[in-house]
Structure 1
Amino acid sequence: MDQHKDYTSLDAKAKGVRRTVIALVALVSLGVSAAAGALVQSHWGERGGVSLDADMAQSQAAAMQDNVTRLAEKVGGLQAKLIEMDGVSKRVAKAAGIEYTDPELAGAMPVQDLAVMDSMDGADLVWNADRLGEQLDNLAKQMSEQQDWFQMLDSVLTERTGNEARLPNYRPVDYDEVASSFGWRRHPISGRHALHEGLDFPAPKGTPIYAASGGVVSEARYMTGYGKLVEINHGNGMSTRYAHASSIVVKLGDVVEKGQLIARVGSTGQSTGSHLHFEVRMAGHALDPKLFLPAREYVEQQIAQLDSDK
């Protein structure tokens, strides 16, 4: 179904963005280490008691200024990336129907401040290195929170994808025509007005019948009215029935997968011709199978039925 594809796409997007977050957190950590290294170098040079000549001091100051400038640029880039991820988070959360709370984004050093740093002396550079270190720490914290949020989203989407995969949306036979839809009708044998609790798919005897979804076989026997019947329990109160089979190829307790062969079409029980009677039930109550079958296929079936009635 299209909805299943949407959730799968969202799941893949969540995992991809989460990998990006992890990489960025590592990058921030390296940035913090670099800032710390710059500070240590500065303090060691000033307090270590080592006499440096003027040329070496000037060279070291220039190198430190360059390092701090680079760190400032990195902070700005990481800040932009975090804002971009925040936008992705909003879109993914909206598509998944999950409430999203904006994180507090720390302000990066303005671009104009980078030019001013070229004329700063050593003390100012040390102060700005401290400031950059704090900003990098804040970014690392925010990205860690983003990572946690994407992990939560990944978990939610994985659960939803699993639930979607259990829906009985696999066509049980390779024939499009629907001879009788879900709803009230006159029973073809008893003549009484009764609720038809499924869809009837006309098909030649021996046509393969497939499981509409994975689950455990809860019935595999002859039942009055249904003839040879297979019932599959899909969990969470959901089950499907496949009636009037000519033969059954699974047994009670078997675990089956979506699309697996479970029986063959026949006309056993109360039946006027070879066909599959397919039901979907929730907590024992019959539901219209058209709610679960792919919409395009069901529309084509209805058009084919209307054409045959002309």
Structure 2
Amino acid sequence: MIVIAQGDRIRHFSIRPWVAALCGAAVFAGLAGYLIATGYLIMRDDLINAAVMRQARVQHAYEDRIAALRAQVDRITSHRLLDQQFMESKIAELATRQSALAARAGTLEPLLERARDKGLSGQVAPVDELPIPALRPGADQASLDPVPGVTAIADNPLFRGANAISLGAHAFAAPARPAGTTTVAAHGKTDRLAPAADPLAALDTVTSTLERVELEQLEQIDVLTRAAYLRRNALIEAAKASGLPVRSEPVPLEAVGGPFVPLDEAAIDEGFEAGLAELSEALDALEQTRGEVTAFPIAHPVPGRQITSGFGKRRDPILGRSAFHAGIDFRAPTGTTIRAPAAGKVVKAGRSGGYGIMVEIDHGNGLTTRFAHMSRLAVKAGQTVEPGQKIGASGNTGRSTGPHLHYEVRAGGKAVNPMRYLKAGTRIGNHL
């Protein structure tokens, strides 16, 4: 109850509890609202400033991220362009080396032909087994997305020949993204790229193959050169052991040495040219020695035929008295082919007394051969013959008791034993 006294007048009011509680609540709510409003007005500027600063930090971080991403994109693009330029230069280098190898093979071909003619093809792989790469640069370059590389560096077998090694059809494509770089995915997350397939490894394979081919060419030249000298030395030694007066001397091959110097392109080019010159010199020397040796009558005039009468003293088959046999006789039925034992020039071809139909060949160096009792001729006087060339057929003409070949070798006009040269031919034959 509330009592109000004013002079003689007294008033009293009765307030119910719920009314008092309601009024108290209203007063408290008003007071709280006032305090909150006052606090908000006081702190509003601080809140606004904090929100602005937070927004600025987010914006700055985003802009920094964008700048970093742009720099990374530029760096990746630069790397891709550098990779593309490197691959293009690598392909151009491979094409140049391939052209050089093809040119070297063309230069080497005649010498290999000569080596085969000399019986040296068995020493190394013949020319049709020499690996010659067939590369071509890639197709025209296009846009940078994805970064273009080489669409095809080789579309045919790299080697040819029975023992060739083929790389097949390699298709090389430049990587769309360099391996090991990073890229940003959605929501600003950074992921490491998986390593991409590197075409440089394939290019390195082709490069190493070309280097191996270059070395094989040099080794082939070296092996052929050594084989030619070895063949020549063996031929000279066999000829001298057989008593043939050859003038050539063997070439020593065992003494080698020098400092180790790694090969480079210039060294390979110089080595190839020097090797070609040395191989040509070795083949020339072998050819000269072979010509010198084959000038002696060392080949068999009737291969496989049995000797029926030797050189020297014997009983004359017609008179029955002791006589000198100036040659050797071979059992040869009429018509058996007679071949020249060495190169030379026919000086006689026709009938000659007791020789019957006879051929005489001058081989130079004072050596001549005679073939008697022939049934027919295949050459004529003044004609040049080669070793093994047919000069006629055996028979029974002249002073003869039956079909056979009378074969003589004369040195300075004097008859010498043909067996000396036939045995030399047997010994030397493996080296010819």
TM class by shorter-chain length? 0.5 to 0.7
* Counterpart in the other structure of 1:159: 288
**Structure 1 or 2: larger helix share?**
1
CA contact (8 A) 2:231 2:286 kept: no
Say whether 1:99 aligns with 2:252.
yes
Q: Given the superposition, is the C-alpha separation of residues 71 and 256 from structure 1 closer, same or farther in structure 2, using an over 3 Å criterion? A: closer
Map of 1:8 onto structure 2: 118
- Residue aligning to 2:370: 241
CA distance, structure 1, for counterparts of residue 271 and residue 208 of structure 2: 18
Specify the alignment match of 2:418 in structure 1: 289
Shift of 1:242: 0.9
Alpha-carbon RMSD? 4.9
Alpha-carbon distance in 2 for matches of 1:242, 1:225: 12
Question: In structure 1, how many angstroms separate the alpha carbons of the residues matched to 2:213 and 2:402?
Answer: 69
8 A Cα contact 1:14 1:150, kept in partner: no
Offset of 1:277 from its aligned partner?
0.6
Match of 1:211 in 2: 339
Q: Which fold has the larger relative contact order, with Cα–Cα distance below 8 Å and residues 6 or more apart in sequence?
A: 1
TM-score (norm 2): 0.40
Q: Give me the whole-angstrom Cα distance separating, in 1, the residues matched to 2:410 and 2:373.
A: 17
Inter-partner Cα distance in structure 2 for 1:7 and 1:287? 33
1:226 and 1:266 map into 2 onto residues whose CA distance is 10
Structure 1 partner of 2:398 = 268
Answer with 1 or 2: which has the greater Rg: 2
Distance (whole Å) between structure 1 residues aligned to residue 318 and residue 339 of structure 2: 28
1:99 deviation in Å?
A: 3.1
Letter in 1 for 2:252: E
Q: 1:215 to 1:262 in 2, by over 3 A?
A: farther
CA distance in 2, matches of 1:166, 1:244: 24
**Correspondences of 1:161-240 after superposition (within 5 Å):** 161-163=290-292, 166-168=295-297, 171-173=300-302, 176-189=305-318, 193-204=322-333, 206-213=334-341, 214-240=343-369
Q: Shift in Å at residue 243 of structure 1?
A: 1.2
* Cα separation, partners in 2 of 1:75 and 1:175, compared to 1, 3 Å: closer
Give the Cα–Cα distance (whole angstroms) in 1 for the partners of residues 298 and 116 of structure 2. 15
Distance 2:382 2:207 in 1: 65
Give the C-alpha shift of residue 154 in structure 1.
1.6
Please give the alpha-carbon distance, in whole angstroms, between the structure 2 residues aligned to 1:245 and 1:259.
16
CA distance in 2, matches of 1:248, 1:78: 54
Question: Does the 8 Å contact 1:106/1:139 carry over to 2?
Answer: no
| SS of corresponding position for 1:277 | strand
Give distance in 1, aligned partners of 2:323 and 2:285.
Answer: 42
> Gaps spanning 5+ residues in structure 2: where?
1-114, 134-199, 234-250, 428-432
Contact residue 306 and residue 331 of structure 2 kept, 8 A? yes
1:210 aligned partner, one-letter code: I
Distance 1:246 1:72, change over 3 A: closer
What percent identity do the matched residue pairs reach? 29
Q: 1:256 to 1:144 in 2, by over 3 A?
A: closer
Taking structure 1 as reference, are residues 191 and 246 closer, same or farther at Cα in structure 2, changes over 3 Å only?
A: same
Local SS of the residue matching 1:286: strand
CA contact (8 A) 1:215 1:234 kept: yes
Distance 1:7 1:195 in 2: 42
Distance apart, 1:176 and its partner CA: 2.1
Once the two structures are TM-superposed, the CA of residue 186 in structure 1 deviates from its matched residue by: 3.4
Do the aligned residues in 1 keep the contact of 2:327 with 2:406 (CA within 8 Å)?
Answer: yes
Superposed counterparts of 1:107-186, under 5 Å: 107-108=261-262, 135-163=264-292, 166-168=295-297, 171-173=300-302, 176-186=305-315
Partner of 1:262, secondary structure, is: strand
Gaps of 5+ in 1: 25-64, 109-131, 297-310
Q: Supply the distance in 2 between the matched residues of 1:280 and 1:94 (Cα, whole angstroms).
A: 30
- TM-superposed deviation, 1:169: 5.1
